[in-house]
Amino acid sequence: MKPRSGASQTEAGQSRQRTGADNKGGPDRVDAINQLFTEFELAYHNQYHKAYGDPDRLMLAKKYWLECLGDFHPQQLVTAARRLVKSQDYLPTISAVIRACEESYGLFGLPSERDAYTEACRAPAPKSAYAWSHPAVYQAGKATDWFFLATEAEDKVFPVFAYYYRQLCQRVIRGEDLQAPVPPALEKDPSRPLTFAEREKKLAQLRASLDI
């Protein structure tokens, strides 16, 4: 991206190190932050230049946003920026971008962090047999620890679950197929009573194993 007047050539305050690029040649996080600010400049021109008119202030802001939004995939950031400029009248905040990023999970078949957390908490045991909305929810619950999810307060558990879930969502967005849990094998015809011959066979096997 060509630097605009008043913007440093290193843009988001970093060298051109590829940070968070996807495996399909998409933008890295530095590119995404630069595009996000470009969207905001075009959509909120007066507000934008009032907030970031000073080049040094703009550089610090981009560094700060890059750090705060590091948990999200670059494509989520780009998508979030475009959705925000279409729906908000005022220059978005970091928290607004985070909410928009979380809402963008649906574009990839993933539930939001809050919905995923609720599903993980309510899913009955055995967890591997539950019909999960997405394998990422199960994997995040497993990584968080099911006992921890069931016994600790939400304000303590949710940040941990959200951390793992975001990492898994990034893998899905990059194109990785997460493995669905394998449900436990069911006993063959558990309700069918044994025949006389089957009972005699099992009894003989038991006697042989006990040497009686």
At residue 14, the pLDDT reads: 45
**What does the pLDDT average to over 5-15?**
43
Mean pLDDT lowest among 23-37, 115-129, 179-193: 179-193
Rounded to 10 degrees, what is the CA torsion of 139, 142, 143, 145? 160
Q: Is the pLDDT of residue 18 over 70?
A: no
Position 189 confidence tier, pLDDT thresholds 50, 70, 90: low
Q: Is the pLDDT of residue 174 over 90?
A: no
Per residue, what are the HEC states of 111-160? CCHHHHHHHHHHCCCCHHHCCCCCHHHHHHHHHHCHHHHHHCCHHHHHHH
**Based on C-alpha coordinates, what's the Rg of the chain?**
26
DSSP 6-17: TS-TTTTTS-S-
C-beta pairs of 128-132 under 8 Å, 24+ apart in sequence? 128/181, 128/182, 128/183, 128/184, 129/181, 129/183, 129/184, 130/181, 132/180, 132/181
**What does the pLDDT average to over 123-149?**
95
Helix (H, G, I), strand (E, B) or coil at 27: coil
Q: Which two tokens stand for residue 99?
A: 């909410």
Q: Is the pLDDT of residue 16 over 70?
A: no
| Spatial separation of the C-alpha atoms in residues 91 and 203, rounded to whole Å | 78
* 65-32-157 Cα angle (round to 5): 55
In the chain, the N- to C-terminal Cα span, in Å, equals: 84
Q: Which two tokens stand for residue 179?
A: 């493995």
Q: Is the pLDDT of residue 203 over 50?
A: yes
| Spatial separation of the C-alpha atoms in residues 120 and 139, rounded to whole Å | 10
Position 49 confidence tier, pLDDT thresholds 50, 70, 90: very high
Mean pLDDT lowest among 19-23, 45-49, 58-62: 19-23
pLDDT tens-digit map of 79-109: 999 999 999 999 999 999 998 988 888 878 8
| DSSP state for residue 109 in the 8-state scheme | T
Q: Is the pLDDT of residue 212 over 80?
A: no
| Spatial separation of the C-alpha atoms in residues 53 and 208, rounded to whole Å | 88
More confident call, 112 vs 17: 112
At residue 22, the pLDDT reads: 47
Using a cut of 0.75, tell me whether the model's pTM lies above it: no
**What does the pLDDT average to over 128-136?**
94
